[in-house]
Structure formats: C-alpha cells, structure tokens
C-alpha cells in the first residue's frame, strides 16, 4: 500500500524555526513535493526533492532521505503569514503522473 | 500567469441530485486531476486525465464520473449525490513529461443535504 504520515498540528512562535516531518511508503518514487495551503485556498507549490539532501529556497528548506523514506520542511524566521497547512506529496511511478498526498500539517504561528 | 479555475466556490445540493463540477486551465496542460480533501485524510485522487477523452480511475472513483471533451476543461460528475460526498473538491493540472508540480484551482466546497 501507499502511506504518507505527517504530524496533524504544530505550533510555533513568530521568528522561530520549525521543522515539519514527513515519512512515506509508496510503490514508486519520482520526487517529493511540499505545498502550502492557507485556509479556504488552493495548495501552492513550495519545494521539490528527488535526490537526497537539502534544497534551500529563501526562508524555506526541504530535506530528503530516500533510504529512510523521510523528508522534512524547515521554515526559518517564522512570520504570522506562515500559519497554514503544509502538505507532503510523493510522485509515484505507477501512472507517471500520480501524486500521493499526506494528511497535511496545520501550523499555527503565535505572536 | 498559471491559472486553474473552478466553476463554483460553494455549492449546496440535495441527496440524489446530479452535480457537475467544472475545471478549466489556461496552460495547455495535458494532465488534469480531481481530488477531494477531507480533514485528517488529505487529498485523495478521484480521477485523472492525461489527454482529451482519456481518463483513469484514482483511489476513490466510486460514485463519480468525469468528462474531458476539450483539453482545457475537466468535469467531475456526481451522478446521484450522497451526504458522504460532502467535501472540498480540488482540481489540478500539470504538463506532460518529466516531473512537474501540480497547479491547483481554488476548490469547490460541496455540501450535500
């Protein structure tokens, strides 16, 4: 079967650093995506990892370990506008365009 | 700028009604997807289409059908709506070939009474 796990909720303080973990078990692997979704809005693309290691993009970084089936999203210098759900998604290889999504992590940034 | 639009943001329907949800993308993308999003379950794939008139079942196709008569438009049909189909429905598209992110529409929140 295919399964992606993420913590349901996290809370952090403005200006802090937070790490959102994602573990996955999928029948194939062609990359891992992180999306941000504000309440009532569409998910928007944040990052993509297909090789092991860290990808940095401004305040956001994403890490992947394929051997461990593990990724994390690191958010630095948290801002109130970072309060959102963060979705981890794996692109499998059975259909070539099939994405498997985790349940999402709701992050609340407090002042 | 990339754009995926959905016909309605909110819909209220009665049990047994036929419901049409429409999605249009202006990026000339080959692949289009319909997901439903429920709390604690994440996005679950209902159907996807990789070309005009082509469709593939996703993880939860029961109770749904789709139509793709034109490249830019992908419709989701609930033949006879039921209360357990109350959900947020998200459409997405991506171009063919390689690994590409999906672009999502704003979603349709459907309530079936």
- The residues with which B5 forms a beta bridge, in sequence order, are B24
Total number of residues shown for chain B: 113
Q: What is the mean pLDDT of residues B40-59?
A: 90
* Cβ contact A57:A49 at 8 Å: no
Indicate the residue of B40, B102, B107 with minimum beta-carbon distance to A99: B102
Chain B interface test: which of A38, A42, A46 (most B C-beta within 10 Å): A42
Residue A29 has pLDDT above 90, yes or no: no
Indicate the residue of B42, B56, B99 with minimum beta-carbon distance to A101: B42
CB within 8 Å: B4 and A97? no
Q: What is the mean pLDDT of residues A45-54?
A: 93
List chain B residues with CB under 8 Å of A101.
35, 42-44
Chain B interface test: which of A7, A89, A97, A103 (most B C-beta within 10 Å): A97
pLDDT tens-place string over residues A67-88: 999 999 999 999 999 999 999 9
Q: For position A91, what pLDDT does the model report?
A: 86
CB within 8 Å: A43 and B104? yes
pLDDT tens-place string over residues B28-45: 888 899 999 998 888 999
Mean pLDDT of chain A: 91
Indicate the residue of B58, B96, B105 with minimum beta-carbon distance to A42: B105
Q: For position A95, what pLDDT does the model report?
A: 53
What DSSP designation does B45 have? Answer: E
pLDDT tens-place string over residues B66-86: 999 999 999 999 999 999 999
Q: For position B95, what pLDDT does the model report?
A: 79
Task: List CB contacts of A66: < 8 A, sequence separation 6 or more.
Answer: A29, A51, A52
CB distance from A4 to chain B under 8 Å? yes
3-state secondary structure of A81: helix
Kindly state the greatest CA–CA separation across chain B. 42
Residue B48 has pLDDT above 60, yes or no: yes
Residue A5 has pLDDT above 80, yes or no: yes
Residue B57 has pLDDT above 70, yes or no: yes
For chain B, percent of residues with pLDDT exceeding 70: 95
Buried b (16+ CB within 10 A) or exposed e, B32-45: bbbbbbeeeebbbb
């Amino acid at each position: 079967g295919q399964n992606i796990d993420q913590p349901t909720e996290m809370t952090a303080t403005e200006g802090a650093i937070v790490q959102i973990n994602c573990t996955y078990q999928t029948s194939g692997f062609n990359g891992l995506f992180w999306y941000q979704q504000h309440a009532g809005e569409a998910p928007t693309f944040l990052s993509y990892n297909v090789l092991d290691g860290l990808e940095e993009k401004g305040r956001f970084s994403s890490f992947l370990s394929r051997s461990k089936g593990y990724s994390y999203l690191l958010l630095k210098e948290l801002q109130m506008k970072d309060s959102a759900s963060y979705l981890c998604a794996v692109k499998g290889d059975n259909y070539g365009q099939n994405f498997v999504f985790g349940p999402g992590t709701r992050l609340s940034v407090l002042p | 700028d990339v754009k995926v639009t959905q016909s309605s943001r909110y819909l209220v329907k009665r049990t047994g009604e036929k419901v049409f949800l429409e999605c249009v993308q202006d990026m000339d993308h080959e692949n289009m997807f319909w997901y439903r999003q429920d709390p604690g379950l994440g996005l679950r794939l209902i159907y996807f289409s990789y070309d005009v008139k082509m469709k593939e079942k996703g993880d939860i196709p029961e109770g749904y059908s789709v139509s793709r008569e034109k490249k830019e438009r992908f419709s989701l049909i609930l033949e006879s709506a039921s209360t357990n189909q109350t959900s947020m429905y998200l459409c997405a598209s991506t171009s063919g070939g390689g690994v590409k992110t999906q672009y999502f529409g704003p979603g349709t929140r459907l309530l079936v009474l």
